[in-house]
Amino acid sequence: MTKDPLARFGEVPQFSLTSTDMTDGGPLRPAQYGAEAGGADVSPQLSWSGYPPETQSFALTVYDPDAPTGSGFWHWAVANLSVAVTSLPSGGALPAGALVLPNEMRLTSFAGAAPPPGTGTHRYQFIVHAVDVPTLDLDPQSTPGVLGFNLHFHTLARAVLEATGVAGGASAA
């Protein structure tokens, strides 16, 4: 698996990201597929540790670089997670203060995997960014790309967990 898919934007230290719902390099569970693919659009449980002590907040992005768009597909983008938050439950119940940006579907929620037929295996990159400021000043209607731009200048370290999904969704999982 790719240890840091964003390394091209500058190397930063890595920390640990785990999940009780998926394993690094393994397939997504049926619940993590989109409803249109037979799933339930349920975000996986995530836990992280080992981030730098100077971390002041976290951001979470979920990205499919294999989507047949020319620019990938953003499934979830969350900023301004308190430094006290080091895990999220399955289903994405987010703490107060978290800012969820609209994803590619223009939803402010997790959009499950739904690779189109004939596009092969897709990688879903769950990335937690350790951020050097308590909050990023973002318009709530900003895109995940704008979040990424801001993270380029404020990321101290990253944790990456990459799972896979295939056409056929939940029934093929």
Q: What is the token pair recorded at 14?
A: 């890595």
Residue 2 located in a structural domain: no
d(CA 35, CA 124): 17
d(CA 109, CA 104): 11
Residue 28 located in a structural domain: yes
Whether the CB-CB separation of 130 and 158 falls below 8 Å is answered with yes
Give me the mean pLDDT over the 88-115 stretch.
Answer: 94
Amino acid 168: pLDDT? 82
Q: What is the token pair recorded at 101?
A: 């940006």
d(CA 89, CA 136): 23
Cα dihedral 39, 42, 45, 48 sign: positive
Residue 18 located in a structural domain: yes
Listed range (6-15, 35-44, 79-88, 154-163) with the worst mean pLDDT = 6-15
CATH number at residue 15: 3.90.280.10
d(CA 67, CA 116): 8
Residue 43 located in a structural domain: yes
* The pLDDT of residue 173 is above 60: no
Q: What is the pTM of this model?
A: 0.94
Amino acid 99: pLDDT? 98
**Residue range of the domain that includes 61:** 7-171
Q: Which amino acid is at 14?
A: Q
Please report the DSSP string for 43-89 in residue order. Answer: PPPEEEE---TT--EEEEEEEETTSTTTT-EEEEEEEEEETT--EE-
Residue 1 located in a structural domain: no
Mean pLDDT of all residues in the chain?
93
Residue 11 located in a structural domain: yes
CB proximity list for 154: less than 8 A, separation 6 or greater: 131, 132, 133, 136
Give me the mean pLDDT over the 13-34 stretch.
Answer: 96
Give me the mean pLDDT over the 92-107 stretch.
Answer: 93
On the CB side of 166, how many CA atoms lie within 13 Å of its CA?
Answer: 8
d(CA 75, CA 108): 10
Number of domains composing the chain: 1
**Residue 57 pLDDT level (bands cut at 50, 70, 90):** very high
Amino acid 93: pLDDT? 84
**Residue 172 pLDDT level (bands cut at 50, 70, 90):** low
